[in-house]
Structure 1
């Protein structure tokens, strides 16, 4: 094995130049227009020569790696065919071991064996240019002080899970090597296994790069085969770089699909990786990563409506059972891989996440119409179903506020300067998470803010004024100018799932649904009941559901009154009819609410129905059902189903270090 001095020298430009010479001797090449370069910010990388006369064009094959220098499972088993052969190059793993362990572990132990060969190994010119054991920056290699920088994020849990999986696999493998009497198995240490596993997870390519010489049946994505490609794995990652790897019968090529100017770096593209994936798998993060997103875990209970709907989906479409990824994501505002017609809310919260939350927080009325297809489970768009959308946005907002508070509370080192590269990347990751969460909160609460606006127009100018007011709550300098611009673009250029403003009402706002000439008398009557009841049932004035029930009882009685109905707006009459249709008043019990039981006893004992006429509500006679025990019980259950608990002043989390999570009860009343 190499000394530390020798290992460190592998990161030099000289070592990479020798790698290129080695590749060339075996039939590979660099295009004449490119060279290997090195600088402090990008390390060793590939770039177009500075003195090249013109940009290199699309379809230029910039790198070419011969099949003979690739490393994969097929080398470990010494695969041979008429189309090509793959040599073991001196590492002979026992056949009994290969048959007993997974393909991934065969690849890992083969790489370990090649590393142990040191300078005698065939792949030495390649392996010496890789990060050596002790030089990797993924979280499994973080020290105690480094771990402090990622507390409160998803990284520690993910690291523990990976460590446990790899530890179990290593113990099984090393036990098997010992069992079959493999000489020198003691050199295959846990530290070397961690290194080899990390190298493969961070640098290996899809087995499809070998499709030019190996039959497709052996190259399935779930086959466990991974391929190391010396030289082609050298370029740095750049999100959205336009490149392609092409499999041939004698080599694999990296082809650029965009023009690159003289002196510019030629980048690889690992795919739309978020910073958590980059840190976990590759040991680095990108500041302002445009493809950043956060994975959300919902914790769905087995007997929940969503879990039952998923079971039903599998019954209808058995192939869905093979899809293990739920795609529950919160996107960065710069995330570019969105269809043009993606709804504004879905552009921030993946459709799978948003639809799942609507199902989880829908009421029974909405869930009766749940739509299940092969690709989604959702509450369909229909009159009255905006409740689930607003409930989902409220829950998302609470989660975002809680996560922001946790990141802030656990980021005690954020005022310190990172002491090493691990801490630098951890800081980039944490800061990216905070910016992502805060921008997503601004977008989520924008729709909730619209739902609270009852007296504003919905023209383009009205929306822009309302948006300016919403964003004025963001402290100056909290976001970069570019981020603020992207938030505005995301809101203004994409259509919201909710087409109308003003569908959430606080208690006193519900009276505005009545004609102006009925509002004062209705408020007086409500206050009359509240004052009388408050003397004997003090809990009523601190029980939002009970107070909302009184107002709903009043509005429904009014909506069913022959005298009042001709004067009411179409919105109110449609809503009243909708509630009566969806919640048939068939003996709803008062339930366990002590407040409602006491209130019912009070109003029945004092014949409170007569208060309506006394207070000027001439359209409600004693036979109208106003404050009838059955109607009260019915209204109580309706309110329980139709209420939405929204965050109160949610953007205070951008101003105050620990604003808490105060909730505001609102009743959902759909627009026409």
Structure 2
């Protein structure tokens, strides 16, 4: 369509609407180089400043296309046999088939001939959605739904004595997409002060009023009355500005699926993370308490929205789920008391470590290189959507990593968290380890796979010296560990294989570093003690992801009394 033809078509649309009681502000003009990517390639531009609360556009109800008018356009037999959506699709299609004989011909003429919604994507276009939650499957599900409606309506139309042949799938796809991209809710057919009606959820087309492109958070008022729908700006509009509507807080996935475009820097965009793990009865009970505390429905569907415009980005409902999933049996009772609050440093580190790993798993697929730069508008909008999803995911990763570092830093500086670094920072213990293992360097011990046994030996050593001055935290921690009896006691029979570990270290360790490892047969250092410390090490410790140097993981234990 040439610019001259498009200009004439829009003038005809305006004349038609105005002649039927509509209105367009005299200082608005149509431009055919849209800045928002509307499929029709049009936008409304102001030629002067416009004050707030000034009527911009008005569509009289005589010009709208509603289910009520669709019923009047077909036989009662057909109208009663099909759902409202199918009826409206066939009515819009009928107006296109009628051409100049249709009352709505000036409106039908300016509608886009094709769209950029997912149902119009080619195989090549879908490649630009790789790694995204929105995919070909969503398009096929909607196609199947609409085709089922179409086939049912064709039979109903034939049964009503009308020729179904002109209503091809391509035509119905076009009319259905007109509805998803341009319709308003039926509640706008009545004043906001009137009582709700069953038809409030039905789609309605308002010619001319539907010409505005979308910009999130635009302050604009939709003012319905018994005779028309009008639009008013809530703030001043400068001259030479595009006039925008506000379709609501829609993320890019919804915009691309339903409207055929997406927006860079969309403040309403979010990344949907689906996590729906099986829960035990006790976990389910706590989960219900968590959701109640957050004023959420008692049963969630496992879908969580990570939204860039909120702070924090990660929703509390997701954080609390991970607290529940990573809680030890001893920590679950604490969650029953305070369902949404942190219960321990160990649990907080585990919560955010597991969340970090879950987010990391999502990132590669959505950041893999695309086959080539976008060649058309569908690929361009898919790329914008994909890049926005990646940006939100990266922001969530950054927030989670920052939180992890804060928890780890607080815990280590207060002495509440111990690690291999803690053990080797003790001069006496470090010297003993170097004497026994030939090194006290963390990296060297890790290369030789000795870091775990060194940590276990440190737990044993601190246990043996827990009553000495300065070891009060250790004494309280050991008392709690033994009281809970989750790991037994240092007198219990050792598990199979622990004696081999013990014999590989003793009595040689006692000879090499007697100040720490002496007298294994005197009741101090024994295989039962090492076995107990190993159980504690495995049960109480967690791998704090990315908190060490160069983002290395650090295995830590919380000295929680």
Further displaced range: 503-512 or 246-255: 503-512
- Secondary structure of the 1:667 match is strand
State the match for 1:481 in structure 2.
none
- Tell me which of 137, 140, 163 is aligned to 2:143: 163
- Secondary structure of the 1:229 match is coil
- Tell me which of 244, 265, 270 is aligned to 1:288: 265
CA contact (8 A) 2:44 2:211 kept: yes
State the match for 1:445 in structure 2.
401
TM-score, with normalisation over the residues of structure 2? Answer: 0.82
Please show how residues 553-632 of structure 1 align to structure 2 within 5 Å: 553-558=460-465, 561-562=466-467, 564=468, 566-568=469-471, 572=474, 575-580=477-482, 584-586=486-488, 597-603=496-502, 611=510, 615-617=514-516, 629=528, 632=531
- Note if 1:203 corresponds to 2:182: yes
Aligned counterparts of 2:102 and 2:480: Cα–Cα separation in 1: 77
Aligned counterparts of 1:590 and 1:412: Cα–Cα separation in 2: 59
Q: How far does residue 234 in structure 1 lie from its aligned partner after superposition?
A: 0.9
Relative distance call for 1:524 and 1:215 in structure 2 (3 A) is same
State the match for 1:643 in structure 2.
542
- Secondary structure of the 1:233 match is helix
State the match for 1:412 in structure 2.
370
Q: How far does residue 150 in structure 1 lie from its aligned partner after superposition?
A: 1.7
Aligned counterparts of 2:242 and 2:364: Cα–Cα separation in 1: 39
Aligned counterparts of 2:17 and 2:285: Cα–Cα separation in 1: 56
CA contact (8 A) 2:270 2:392 kept: yes
State the match for 2:202 in structure 1.
225
Relative distance call for 1:39 and 1:389 in structure 2 (3 A) is same
State the match for 2:22 in structure 1.
28
State the match for 1:380 in structure 2.
341
Q: How far does residue 313 in structure 1 lie from its aligned partner after superposition?
A: 7.8
State the match for 2:225 in structure 1.
248
CA contact (8 A) 2:86 2:153 kept: yes
Q: How far does residue 66 in structure 1 lie from its aligned partner after superposition?
A: 1.5
Aligned counterparts of 1:455 and 1:380: Cα–Cα separation in 2: 17
State the match for 1:263 in structure 2.
240
Aligned counterparts of 2:279 and 2:148: Cα–Cα separation in 1: 28
State the match for 2:43 in structure 1.
45
Relative distance call for 1:314 and 1:444 in structure 2 (3 A) is closer
State the match for 1:508 in structure 2.
421
Q: Which runs of 5+ in 2 are unaligned?
A: 439-444
Relative distance call for 1:313 and 1:272 in structure 2 (3 A) is same
Please show how residues 244-393 of structure 1 align to structure 2 within 5 Å: 244-301=221-278, 309=286, 320=297, 328-332=304-308, 335=309, 338=310, 342=311, 347-370=312-335, 378-382=339-343, 384=344, 386-393=345-352
Aligned length: 550
- Note if 1:128 corresponds to 2:109: yes
Q: How far does residue 265 in structure 1 lie from its aligned partner after superposition?
A: 1.5
Aligned counterparts of 1:159 and 1:448: Cα–Cα separation in 2: 39
Q: How far does residue 153 in structure 1 lie from its aligned partner after superposition?
A: 1.7
Aligned counterparts of 2:293 and 2:391: Cα–Cα separation in 1: 40
Query: For 1:291-335, what per-residue CA distance to the aligned partner results, in whole angstroms no more than 9, with x for missing partners?
Result: 3221111143365976665577899999936x8765512233xx2
- Secondary structure of the 1:249 match is coil
Q: How far does residue 208 in structure 1 lie from its aligned partner after superposition?
A: 2.5
CA contact (8 A) 2:185 2:203 kept: yes
CA contact (8 A) 1:643 1:668 kept: yes
Aligned counterparts of 1:256 and 1:161: Cα–Cα separation in 2: 38
Relative distance call for 1:65 and 1:548 in structure 2 (3 A) is farther
Aligned counterparts of 2:234 and 2:423: Cα–Cα separation in 1: 59
Aligned counterparts of 2:491 and 2:140: Cα–Cα separation in 1: 50
Q: How far does residue 618 in structure 1 lie from its aligned partner after superposition?
A: 9.4
- Tell me which of 9, 13, 26 is aligned to 1:19: 13
- Secondary structure of the 1:446 match is helix
